[in-house]
Amino acid sequence: VLRDQTLPATRHAVDALHAGYAAGGTELLGWLDAERAALEVELEVHRARGDLARALADLDAAVGDRVRRVAVPGRQEVRRGAR
């Protein structure tokens, strides 16, 4: 949800506010606040990916072998190295 919906929405808001600022219709603070919010969402996406990687590594260690990875239905990308 973060990567596929929230991040694109925040990026769209940043782009719209940037265009408004460039045209003189938006204040700098509004644009910068939207940019900060977009960066926070990007950080959350990276944290979630890190959490997933750590959880999968813990699972692999508990099982004693690499657990088979499968693509999540509806996901646009497939994890590299999945088997």
| pTM given for the model | 0.68
Please give the mean pLDDT across all residues of the chain: 86
Q: Give, for 5, the enclosing helix (H) or strand (E).
A: none
- pLDDT score recorded for residue 62: 97
CA distance 11 to 34: 8
- pLDDT score recorded for residue 81: 47
Q: CA-based angle 19:46:34, to the nearest 5?
A: 25
Backbone angles phi, psi at 2, to 5 degrees: -60, -50
Residue matched to tokens 């973060």: 2
